[in-house]
Amino acid sequence: MMNYKKLQRAEFLKMTGGLVFLMLSNKWSFAQSSLSSDLVSSAQKRQEYTIALLKKLVTDIGPRPSGSKAFAKAAKIVLKEMQRSLPQVNFDRYEFDDWGPINSSSLIVGAQHIEAIPQKRGFGTPANGVSGVFAKIGSAYAITDEQNGQILAYFSVNQYGRAIAGSGSGNLDKSVPVFGIGKQDVLLLDRSAKNKLSASIKSEYKPVHKAPGINVIGRIPGKTKKEILIIAHLDTIFNTPGANDNAASVIVMLMLAHAASGREHNHTLTFVASDSEEYVYEGAHHYAAGRIADNTMNDIRYVLNFDSLTYGPNLWINSKDQGVKDMIRDIHKDLNIESTPIYGENDGFVMDSLPFKPSGAIALHANSRGYDEKTLPVYHRPDDTADKVPLDCVEISFQVFDEFIKRADRT
């Protein structure tokens, strides 16, 4: 296919000598876009590209929480990658209030030390920690005040494996510190709660301050203003290098951009490596607000949100549009992709794609499943490292969505 394309282009250039000058005088030349689409023109090249970029973004940088220097470094790398093939690339900056844990102890129940991870943007304990009686509350746990039963610290359980940062706190008083604990400790904790053992924990928080948010935006203008927008978050939780969540999906998006740069499209293509997804989607909200302000939100006809495409070979597709679901199914069949997409219940406007709902676009949110035993336990964990990314899932996602862009472009 590449040879055919190259031939076509060579013929084209030969026949239109006059145009060549025009193209070369443009910052973004055909020659440049042809080179960059070559970057990902075979499965072998895509694998090499993926491994190289996983090393840069995940292994070399590590956790990339929003607002950190590490995130800014990663954003610069993604900007450079986009500049290899896209004619319009820029940072979309904003500021946000940041706070979070700076140090914390494990949970001590009786004499046992149990791994517990505080909640980002939650509440810390007093400087000397909290202690009280260990108790079970529904499927969660708490340290409660010995005198009045008041909840002093709350513990959510990660159903996939070891402890991840605490999340959710039900109907608790909002100032209660929340921690995450692992499912392997549940039996021990049940016993401890039954025996009303004493427990303690400590977590200090750094104060609110203005932190920089940076989305990276790349665009390929099409023949029309009608637009296909793809978004994948580049940030991570503070304690994970986030290879599967979500560097690998960002890499899929970059490869789609490189591939698309060698073609002409009716639709304008926009690629967003978003920031602050892990903190209430502030990056996506900021970029979407800009699109409303400059009156271009309504140009968007498709929104694709890639989040964790590499948990297994089966893409987990959420959309309320039946045409999109059929298209994904047909693509698997037509390209002989030996995996089975799963269809979820939400309308595709969730998390980072939610702020684009006012566009009235067709939305698709993609996650994945299939290697659950191997991949899900590393979710939001320090061991979500580059070597945990199943490369076949990167390739499947690339193939499916490269074809998806081509087909959606014809609609």
- Interface ranges with Zn ion (CB under 5 A): 245-246, 307
Instruction: For the CB of residue 375, give the shortest distance to Zn ion in the complex, in Å.
Output: 13
Structure tokens at 128: 């000397």
The nearest distance, CB 159 to Zn ion, in angstroms, is 16
Q: What is the distance between the alpha carbons of residues 118 and 107, in angstroms, rounded to a whole number? A: 10
Contact yes or no for 308/245 (Cβ under 8 A):
yes
Contact 276, 282 (CB under 8 A): yes
Q: Which residue has the tokens 């074809």?
A: 403
| Sequential DSSP letters for 278-328 | TTTTHHHHHHHHHHHHTT-GGGEEEEEEE--TTSSSEEEEE-S-HHHHHHH
Cα separations in angstroms, 28 against 343, 405, 409:
39, 21, 22
- Minimum CB distance to Zn ion, residue 245 (Å): 4
Percent of the chain as helix, strand, coil, to the nearest 5: 40, 25, 35
Cα–Cα distance between 335 and 342 in angstroms, integer? 17
Q: Output 307 or 395, the one with its CB closest to Zn ion.
A: 307
Report the alpha-carbon distance of residue 115 to residue 129 in Å, rounded: 16
**CA 54/CA 247 separation, integer angstroms:** 7
Nearer to Zn ion, 249 or 268 (CB): 249
Q: Do residues 28 and 83 touch, judged by C-beta distance below 8 A?
A: no
Instruction: Report the nearest approach of Zn ion to the CB of residue 249 (Å).
Output: 8
Q: Are 184 and 116 in contact (CB under 8 A)?
A: no
Question: Shortest distance, CB of residue 22 to Zn ion, whole angstroms?
Answer: 42
- Sheet with 203-220, strands from edge to edge, namely 88-104, 203-220, 268-274, 227-233, 300-306, 362-369, 314-318, 342-343
148 Cβ neighbours under 8 A, 6+ residues apart: none
Q: Which is nearer to Zn ion, 245 or 409 (CB)?
A: 245
Min dist. Cβ of residue 355 to Zn ion (A): 16
* Terminal Cα-to-Cα distance of the chain (whole angstroms): 23
Question: Least separation, in Å, of the C-beta of 308 and Zn ion?
Answer: 5
| Nearest residue (CB) to Zn ion, 185 versus 278 | 278
Q: Which residue has the tokens 């472009």?
A: 409
Q: How far is the CB of 351 from Zn ion (least distance, A)?
A: 8
CB of 101 to Zn ion, least distance (A): 20
In the bound state with Zn ion, the residue whose beta carbon lies nearer, of 152 and 163, is: 163
In the complex with Zn ion, which residue's Cβ is closer, 233 or 291?
Answer: 233
Question: Which of 153, 142, 156 has its CA nearest to residue 196?
Answer: 142
Residue with Cβ nearer Zn ion (120 or 265): 120
CB of 242 to Zn ion, least distance (A): 8
CB of 179 closer than 8 Å to CB of 203: yes
* 8 A C-beta contact, residue 143 and residue 203: no
> Three-state DSSP class for 303?
strand
Q: Which is nearer to Zn ion, 94 or 379 (CB)?
A: 379
